[in-house]
Chains A and B, each alone.
Chain A
Amino acid sequence: RKEVEQDPGPFNVPEGATVAFNCTYSNSASQSFFWYRQDCRKEPKLLMSVYSSGNEDGRFTAQLNRASQYISLLIRDSKLSDSATYLCVVGLVGGTASKLTFGTGTRLQVTL
């Protein structure tokens, strides 16, 4: 079983749609959780951290369920510029001292 599992997609959605990505992780000792965005031929960039209480940043909402070891990302009102691969990332130790484990990514294509 992979340490971090994601549906690879691709998800093809029209502009304005709402899309949700899911992720599960296997190590219950994981302490930090992130969603990264990676554009084609570019490095990953942090989209948002994920907290147990859930957090929202504009059109993006992230949720964490520690009991189920499940992370989600919801994108509302999708824009063409949201087209990218979204990486679910899990850190073993809290804070900045942890190694990150990356999911294989979910590809999103937003169309007109």
Chain B
Amino acid sequence: SAVISQKPSRDICQRGTSLTIQCQVDSQVTMMFWYRQQPGQSLTLIATANQGSEATYESGFVIDKFPISRPNLTFSTLTVSNMSPEDSSIYLCSGAGLYGYTFGSGTRLTVV
């Protein structure tokens, strides 16, 4: 199956700043997704990252807060903008291809 490299693995950020998370897949995937997992909860889909076009956001998530890029089939970024302590969470990317779904190792974000 595909391997997804996600970085950074963790960060502590000041409120009001932004953090960009990167995911690199070692093979082409048809779709890429970004999830958030808050403490003690399951994964919530933020958006589907579309290659070369604007991401498709789920209810409750907007582009201004979570801009996403996907310039090619194997790379995507998620930015968490103007952070507040409520954004403290684990952010995961996922790729879907012939093998099924694979997840990055996650970014543990703490906003202080």
Contact = CB atoms under 8 A, between A and B. Distances in A.
B33 A99 contact: yes
Most buried by A among B48, B98, B100: B100
A101 B103 CA distance: 14
Contacts of B42: 87, 102-105
Contacts of B48: 99
Contacts of A105: 42
Interface stretch (A12-20, A44-52, A66-74): A44-52
B45 A100 contact: yes
A97 interface: yes
Nearest to B103: A43
Contacts of B94: 100
Interface residues of B, number: 22
B96 A97 contact: yes
Contacts of A46: 100-102
A96 B104 contact: no
A1 interface: no
A49 B100 contact: yes
A30 to B, nearest CB: 15
A92 to B, nearest CB: 11
Interface residues of A, number: 19
Contacts of A45: 103
A46 B100 CA distance: 9
Given A87-B42, A105-B42, A100 B106 contact: no
Contacts of B44: 102
B79 interface: no
B30 interface: yes
Interface of A: 34, 41-46, 49, 87, 96-105
Interface of B: 30-31, 33, 41-45, 48, 92, 94, 96-98, 100-106, 108
Given A43-B104, A100-B33, 4 more contacts: A43-B103, A96-B98, A99-B45, A100-B94
